[in-house]
Amino acid sequence: MAKRSLIEVPFIFFALLMPFFGSGERFQIGSLELYRDGLLAGASIVTKGTIGILVAINLSATTTAREILRGLEVLRLPTPMVQIASFMLRYVNVVNDEMQRMAVARQSRGFEATGIKHWPVLATAAGALFIRSYERGERVHLAMLARGFDGELPKDEKIKNDRKYWLISLCIPLLALFVLLITLQLG
């Protein structure tokens, strides 16, 4: 969990600088002169960022990609968007493997990207990867149509409505409401 939370470090750094800038009421802590509005804004950024990251970590740790896609369907996200997300999740590893093979092929020919003069080679490789991915997508689409794909993901399992999940899910909005009330009280 700690490793995954490292994404928050830049936001914390930015929030630590905020009390030194701003307008309005000022106060001193030792030799430091801080602004009340900057302090509240920094605390707000850290709190909201932490809640958001904890939600994302909790969701990724407890829910499969298929369950997330089913949840998006239940929330009435347009079907084409759910399908795009589904195919992206399914084929991102395939495209990544293709990119790795292309990099190995370039390295075996002695290519090293050391500066701006190598950008045309990398741009050509990116274009080739795009064309290969597009052609693969066309083949997959034709194969799916041949197997009877009608534009909807198969719905083979029922979504569980367990009380435990509802209680856990209720904690996050309650925490956000608590933060909002504290912010309104201080601000």
Q: Length of the chain in residues, anyone?
A: 187
Report the pLDDT value the prediction gives residue 127, as an integer from 0 to 100: 94
Per-residue pLDDT of the chain (187 residues; tens, 9 = 90+): 667 777 788 888 888 888 888 777 888 888 888 888 888 888 888 888 888 888 888 888 888 888 888 888 888 899 889 888 888 888 888 989 999 999 899 889 988 888 888 889 889 999 999 999 999 989 988 998 899 887 776 676 666 667 777 777 788 788 888 888 887 887 6
69 vs 87: CA distance, rounded Å? 11
Q: What is the pTM of this model?
A: 0.57
Residue 158 has what pLDDT?
64
pLDDT of 87: 87
SS3 169: helix
Single-letter amino acid code for the residue at 99: M
The pLDDT, as a whole number, for residue 161 is 65
**Hey, what amino acid is at 48?**
K
96 vs 20, 41, 73, 102, 126, CA distance in Å?
44, 39, 27, 10, 12
Domain ranges of the chain: 4-62+161-186, 77-146
